[in-house]
Amino acid sequence: MPSRDEIFEKVKAALVDALGVDEDEVSPTATMVGDLGAESIDFLDIVFRLEKAFGIKIPRGELFPEDVLSSTEYVADGKLNAAGLAALKARMPFADLSKFEANPSVQNFANTLTVEDMVRYVQSKVGG
């Protein structure tokens, strides 16, 4: 099983290629959207690159659960309700959602995911 640092380096390379950012911009605390400028189409590109780099399969919606964030069952007035938050946590055990919980507006979610979340997600996949 690769070490956390090995995973981080490969994740960094995937993000540099997909987003055209410099290596030193890809710090563990950098947010995918706010700091690295990822747009929605970039996330699919990142999925392709992570799958190739680590030899894993990433089912649709697992890394970026867009279906939860657009569900009328979970979203009211642009905010995720308690059931939605629970669903998100269940789907994304690798992500630190504590900041998002304080202000669970869907718009805010884009600035929640960090590079470290990507690393933890890959760890959960390669660690079996």
Partner 1 sequence: MRWFWIDRFEEFVRGKHATAVKNVSLAEEHMHDHFPGVALMPNSLIVEGMAQAAGLLVAEAIDYNRRVVLAKVAGAEFHFDAVPGDTLKFHAEILDLKPAGSLTRVKTTVGDEVQGEAEIFFAHLEPGDGVPKLFEPEELLRWLDQMHIYDVGRDESGQPLTRPDW
| Backbone dihedral region for residue 107 (phi beyond 0: left; psi -120 to 50: alpha; all else: beta) | alpha
CA distance 22 to 80: 33
Asked whether 50 and 14 are in contact (CB, 8 A), the reply is: yes
Is 60 one of the binding residues for partner 1 (CB under 8 A)?
yes
DSSP secondary structure letter of residue 21: -
Near partner 1 in 82-111, by CB under 8 A = none
Is 56 one of the binding residues for partner 1 (CB under 8 A)?
no
Q: How far is the CB of 41 from partner 1 (least distance, A)?
A: 5
Is 45 one of the binding residues for partner 1 (CB under 8 A)?
yes
Strands 79-80 and 75-76: antiparallel
Q: Which CB, 49 or 120, lies closer to partner 1? A: 49
Cα 39 to chain centroid distance, Å, stands at 12
Is 73 one of the binding residues for partner 1 (CB under 8 A)?
no
For the window 3-42, what string marks contact with partner 1 as x by the rule CB under 8 A?
Answer: --------------xx-x--------------------xx
Q: Which CB, 18 or 119, lies closer to partner 1? A: 18
Q: What share of the chain is helix, strand, coil (3-state, %, to 5)?
A: 55, 5, 40
Residues of the shown chain interacting with partner 1 in the complex, contacts defined by CB under 8 A: 17-18, 20, 41-42, 44-45, 47-48, 51-52, 60
